[in-house]
Amino acid sequence: MWFNKSNGREEYELVNQAQIDTDLEGQSSGLHSVPTPSPKSSSESSSSEIFENIDEYTQRKDDRDDFNINPKFQTVLYKYKAIGSMNKKVCALISGCVAALWVIALIVYSQGTALSIVSDLKWKTNITVSGTNVTLNHYDPTNQNLTLELYRKGTFFPFKEQVEWLNIKQKPAHKAQDGFYLSRGSKGSFDVKSVNRESSRTIIDNIQFSYKNNFLTIDELKLNPGKSIDEAANYHIVVSNTLSQWRHSSFALYWIYNTETMEYKPIQPPKKQESQKEESPLDHERLKKLHFAEFSPNGDFIVFGFNHNLYLQNVESMEVIEITKNGSPNIFNGKPDWVYEEEISADYKLFWWSPNQENLVYVSLDDSKVNEYDLDYYIKNSDEIGDTYNESEDKTIDNVKQYPTKKSIKYPKPGTPIPIVSLHNFKLTTKESTKLTIENSSLGDDFLFYDGLWIDDKNFLMKHTDRTSKILSKKLFQPEISNKVEEINSVNVSKEYDGWVEKVSPMTVFPTDNEENSYVDKIVVNKRTHLALFEKAASQDPSRILTDSNNWEIISDSPVVVDKTENIVYCLSTMRSSMESHLIAVKLATESSINIVTDVNKDGVYEISFDQDGQYLNLNYNGPNNPWQKLINMADIHNILESRESKDKEKSVNDLIEKTKPINHVEVIDGSLKMTNIPTRLYKTVRVDKFPDKSPVNLNVLEILPPNFDPNSHKYPLLVHAYGGPGSQTVDKRFGIDFEDVVSAKLDAIVLIIDPRGTTQDWKSRAFVSGKLGYWEPRDITTVVSEYIEVNEKFINRDRTAIWGWSYGGFTTLKTLEYDHGETFKFGMAVAPVTNWLFYDAVYTERYMGLPSENDNYDKTSRIKEFKNFDSVKRFLIMHGMSDDNVHLQNSLWLLDKFNLNNLENYDVHFFPDNDHSIYYHNSNLIVYDKLLHWLFDAFSGKFDNFV
């Protein structure tokens, strides 16, 4: 398997990381108790036989060498180092020895055993773990270890400068070919800068403004897309008083900012002639918060949303007209409801302007038959809650709410009614909307609208699926021909590659010199995600497959960017490994050829943001070393790629990127890292099974070793973290100082982070989880961990093993404890867990499980079922936000009731009032991580061993 002599490609030593204090609240951890006899490894493993000849762990030959190079020893020795006569040298040597003995005696008296002293004074750079030689991060006993307090200060969080590229119309007229972007100044100002940093212009300096004796603060600025920033008379959108609603949506005040007069005018819906209730004079002055406000392509109109209706405002005249009038708690116009926002659109709006601004296509969602889920708020006032429609009044006495505020959301669960979609087109010339007719639809009335894009002025292309996201249909609306939506093609992805349709990055227009543009889309080739070029919107099949490797694929959520001038497509790939993302350029001149932009000979996780034309790149290197951010003029790279003089073009491109100066403050993290001892991160790919074709089933694993780790000193506790959601990725090679690193350093623990099968990688691997959530996750995790313990039993404390996760990770944690029944894992922590997939939303769950009426695994594998198995766990912890709109509190309450019925008492519970899925409200995020760390300390120090 993976623990016996892995090759150099399978592991990575993280050099630049952050670190932690080893003693919790000044107490000795006491984590090194005697373990129990070894339980047998999981029967699920297909490779246990490989462990028979594991190499013995090597030790350093001479401990004195380690002591002599120790900084503490050298400091003392230096003070007494002889300079001068022989007598002085002898005297100084004797004095030094006495002083050293005094220091050692003092440490023994103050800190305990000789073992702990040697551990402090000795640092082994090369050790053996799982049969593989490992180089540890530098350890300096004069530095402090990473702590939760240091982590919270943000000193290890990479700073990134905001970069919002200007389009060609927004740029200064005399510098239209240069790269310009909107950013924020140190005091919050909104500035336009150039890539070469030679010029900078402030659009708004003071982020506070007044309106009718009220002072407001600007949260966001949206530049007019149709005018140059040079124009004196210009209009921009300003956002203030933002209140989050769900994951992407919010309520806020929106303003039109006149750059010439420097006036701010509120964007508001027209006042109704007849009000349903009598309003006080103050109500007329109260501004209404909107869902959103967006410019039209030319910047002379603004579309905004209020109470689930769409409005159109003329920027010059300020005239407002209603696009829709039927918005209600059940009807969402141009705006996603909860499940669409969370699972499909990943956006706060559902409308699309044609490039020529003549047509506006929008989606309406009818939630009339969708069941509601109620949320109670015991502390928050109504104005603190992102309501779905209207605010309610609070009943308070002395600022105490006598009754909770009740809010309901439309939340479809598996097998229940979901939103019904209708499509509409608003014509700017007639100011009228028309409902579109969907022809020959075999997807059912409750189909899902996944994506939409204007390929050109004549063609609006869409992706629809059935409600279970198994049948993908491309459909086309052509406003110049009719109001019908015609099907272009349809594919059953479940049959084609055992897959499903999920949130994806949108299709990308490829401009042509013809009347109709081409477009680039992601397709599946040999069960891997790749790029394809479609000649026009109505094309049933791609004209060219741009990438088709059997060894790597395109990152599923990677942006796809077209540079029409150079005839190149850019995207991110897994060319080096599935734990990384590297930038490639696909040239389309004749036959597709691929140029590698970022160095695939080195580990790297990159993030990209191009300007509209693909001419300038905001390149973010996210790890594994200290992250940096650089702005690249792609013309410089093109010159190298097209040059006949450059022999090694890829190396020349890498040199160019290497020499480009970062725009973020890399030195800040560097300084923090030098003063802190950090855990060592090792990345591995392990084999747990075989596919039917005998190829290996591999999992990605991140191993974290504590500062000054020594496999020969004592036995370490082990924490495992997992998420495990289908298609997700937890293990990648980005730089990170996370909670797991804090645990490793603070509790002197080893941590494993595991991506079980069904997570990232290709569709061949993902297909395992289709129809049976909760089956493979616990088996893979238990297999990996039990065999890791078996191989490394010399330094793993079998009695101090725990697993933890949040959300889907909470489900994975509980399923693993249920499956393992206390053999491998003695403790567990589940935050906001799903406990039964009948309680989660229909779109996500049915995507993988299908309908409950058609799949028995809802009961067999996809809920917590064997409650008695938890009695074999020493102790576990459950925490949940009481107003969680995503994973409802119902999940934990249902589980606790089952525990009551089965006489289970070996667990702790903490609920957080008025908190959503992120658990942030009223200091809760501080508490939840403190609780996790303190609870783990108690578990690893033996407090729960005889707990009744």
Within a 13 Å sphere around the CA of 409, how many CA atoms are in the beta-carbon half?
25
Beta carbons of 418 and 367 less than 8 angstroms apart: no
Answer whether residue 265 is part of any domain: no
752 and 709 in a common domain:
yes
Residue 101 has pLDDT above 80, yes or no: no
In three-state secondary structure terms, 164 is: strand
My answer on whether 850 and 868 are in the same domain is yes
> HEC states along 486-509?
EEEEEEEHHHHHCCCCCCCCCCEE
Please indicate, yes or no, whether residues 149 and 198 belong to a single structural domain of this protein. Answer: no
Judge whether residue 62 has pLDDT over 60. Answer: no
Query: 307 exposed, middle or buried (CB, 10 Å; 0-12, 13-18, 19+)?
Result: middle
Does 337 participate in catalysis according to the annotation?
no
> Is the confidence at residue 218, as pLDDT, over 50?
yes
Looking at the fold, whether 149 and 181 belong to one and the same domain comes out as no
Q: Provide the pLDDT for residue 176.
A: 74
Q: In this predicted structure, which of 140-149, 810-819, 839-848 has the lowest mean pLDDT?
A: 140-149
Residue 83, pLDDT above cutoff 50: no
Give residue 34's pLDDT. 36
Q: Which two tokens stand for residue 720?
A: 């495992």
Whether residue 166 sits in one domain with residue 149: no
Strands (E), 709-772: 716-722, 750-755
One domain, residues 148 and 181: no
Q: What is the mean pLDDT of residues 806-829?
A: 98
> What Cα–Cα distance (Å) separates residue 204 from each residue in 180, 185, 233, 425, 569?
16, 10, 14, 36, 35
CA-based diameter of the chain, in Å? Answer: 105
Q: Is residue 693 part of a domain?
A: yes
Residue 509 located in a structural domain = no
Residue 81: its pLDDT value, please? 39
Kindly list the distances between the CA atom of residue 321 and the CA atoms of 288, 310, 325, 866, in Å, as whole numbers in the listed order.
16, 9, 10, 59
Would the pLDDT of 627 be above 70? yes
Amino acid sitting at position 886: N
Question: Two tokens at 904?
Answer: 């289970």
pLDDT at 647: 74
pLDDT-wise least confident of 20-24, 387-391, 886-890: 20-24
Residue 74, pLDDT > 50, answer no
Please state the rounded mean pLDDT for residues 438-453: 92
User: What integer is the mean pLDDT of 23-36?
Assistant: 39
676's CB contacts (< 8 A; 6+ apart) are 18, 19, 20, 143, 144, 145, 146, 150
Q: Is the same domain home to 785 and 806?
A: yes
For residue 704, which amino acid is it? I
In whole angstroms, what is the distance from residue 138 CA to residue 16 CA?
10
Q: In the structure encoding, which two tokens stand for residue 61, read together?
A: 């030959």
For residue 799, give Cα distances in angstroms to 40, 649, 692, 781: 14, 55, 37, 17
- Asked whether residue 192 falls in the same domain as residue 148, the answer is no
**CA–CA separation, 180 and 183 (whole Å):** 10
State the Cα torsion 531-537-543-544 to the nearest 10°: -20
CA-to-CA dists, residue 759 to 125, 427, 728, angstroms: 34, 44, 5
- Count other Cβ atoms within 10 Å, centred on residue 817: 27
Task: Compute the Cα dihedral for 12, 18, 19, 20 and give only its sign.
Answer: negative
Nearest to 614 by CA among 596, 595, 632: 632
Average confidence (pLDDT) over 879-892 = 98
Q: In this predicted structure, what is the pLDDT of residue 649?
A: 87
762 and 797 belong to one structural domain? yes
Is residue 223 very low, low, confident or very high in pLDDT (cuts 50, 70, 90)?
very high
Instruction: Give the residue, 21 or 268, on which the prediction is more confident.
Output: 268
**What DSSP designation does 35 have?**
P
86 band by pLDDT with thresholds 50, 70 and 90: very low
pTM of this structure: 0.86
Mean pLDDT of the chain: 87
Higher per-residue confidence, 33 vs 670? 670
> Smallest Cα–Cα separation from 259: which of 187, 203, 190?
203
**CB burial class (10 A; 0-12, 13-18, 19+) of residue 580?**
buried
Backbone dihedral angles phi then psi of residue 175, each to the nearest 5 degrees: -135, 40
CA 627 – CA 605 distance, rounded (Å): 9
| Per-residue H/E/C for 93-150 | HHHHHHHHHHHHHHHHHHHCCHHHHHHHHCCCCEEEECCEEEECCCCCCCCEEECHHH
pLDDT score of 694 more than 50: yes
Q: Same domain for 848 and 869?
A: yes
Query: Quick one: angle between helices 739-746 and 924-940, nearest 10?
Result: 40
Both tokens of 625, joined, read 């070393």
**Residue 934, in any domain of the structure:** yes
Q: What pLDDT is attached to residue 104?
A: 52
Say if 377 falls within a structural domain.
Answer: no
554 DSSP 8-state letter? B
Let me know if 867 is exposed, middle or buried by CB neighbors in 10 A (0-12, 13-18, 19+). middle
Q: How many helices and strands in the chain, by DSSP H and E? A: 19, 50
pLDDT of residue 668: 86
Taking alpha carbons only, the member of 419, 440, 432, 455 closest to residue 490 is 440
Please report, for the domain that includes residue 782, its CATH number.
Answer: 3.40.50.1820
Range of lowest pLDDT (91-95, 543-547, 604-608, 877-881): 91-95
Q: What is the DSSP letter of 643?
A: -
Split into its structural domains, the chain has a count of 2
* Listed range (97-106, 313-322, 567-576) with the worst mean pLDDT: 97-106
State residue 100's pLDDT score.
58
Determine the residue type at 746: K
Residue 38: which pLDDT band, with cuts at 50, 70 and 90?
Answer: very low
Degrees to nearest 5, angle at CA 86 with 85 and 90: 125
Domain, as residue range, for 164: 160-206
In a domain? residue 321:
no
Q: Which of 469, 892, 917, 941 is catalytic?
A: 917
Same domain, 870 and 842: yes
pLDDT at 233 over 80: yes
Q: How confident is the model at residue 92 (pLDDT cuts 50, 70, 90)?
A: low
Average pLDDT over residues 308-337: 97
- Does 799 map to a domain? yes
| Annotation marks residue 884 as catalytic | yes
pLDDT for position 388: 62
Please confirm, yes or no, whether 308 is among the known catalytic residues: no
> How far from 66 is each of 152, 586, 710, CA to CA, in Å?
34, 52, 13
Which among 884, 885, 914, 916 is annotated as catalytic? 884
- Domain presence at residue 845: yes
* Residue 66 DSSP code: H
State residue 645's pLDDT score. Answer: 74
Give the pLDDT confidence of 748-768 residue by residue, as tens digits. Answer: 999 999 999 999 889 999 999
The residue among 667 and 570 whose pLDDT is bigger is 570
Q: Mutual orientation of helices 776-791 and 808-820 as an angle, nearest 10°?
A: 60
pLDDT at 443 > cutoff 80: yes
Q: Where are the beta strands (DSSP E) in 547-679?
A: 561-563, 568-573, 582-587, 593-596, 606-610, 616-621, 628-633, 676-677
Give the pLDDT confidence score for residue 391 in this predicted structure. Answer: 60
Residue 46 scores a pLDDT above 50: no
Which residues are CB-neighbours of 581 under 8 A, at least 6 positions away? 555, 558, 572, 573, 574, 604, 605, 606, 607, 732
Local structure of 530: helix, strand or coil: strand
| pLDDT at residue number 200 | 86
CB-based burial of residue 286 (10 Å sphere; 0-12 exposed, 13-18 middle, 19+ buried)? exposed
Q: Which of 911, 925, 908, 910 is nearest to 883 (CA)?
A: 911
> Which DSSP state fits 75?
H
Q: Cα–Cα distance between 786 and 44 in angstroms, integer?
A: 11
SS (H, E, C) 665-683: CHHHHHHHHHCEECCEEEE
Question: Is residue 273's pLDDT more than 70?
Answer: no
Given a cut of 80, whether residue 121 has pLDDT beyond it is no
Q: Higher model confidence: residue 943 or residue 24?
A: 943
Distance of alpha carbon 4 from alpha carbon 7, whole angstroms? 9
- pLDDT above 90: residue 4: no
- Give how far the C-alpha of residue 156 lies from the chain's centroid of Cα atoms, to the nearest Å: 17
Return all residues near 594 (Cβ < 8 A) that are at least 6 apart.
547, 584, 585, 586, 587
Contact status, residue 588 vs residue 533, Cβ threshold 8 Å: yes
Q: Is the pLDDT of residue 21 over 50?
A: no
Q: Which of 41, 807, 883, 924 is catalytic?
A: 807
HEC string of 264-289? Answer: EEECCCCCCCCCCCCCCHHHHHCCCC
Output the pLDDT for position 398.
82
In this structure, the answer to whether residues 778 and 732 fall within a common structural domain is yes
Q: What is the pLDDT of residue 826?
A: 98
The predicted-structure confidence for 246-263, as pLDDT tens digits, reads as follows 999 999 999 999 999 999
**For residues 183 and 206, what is the distance between their CA atoms, to the nearest angstrom?**
14
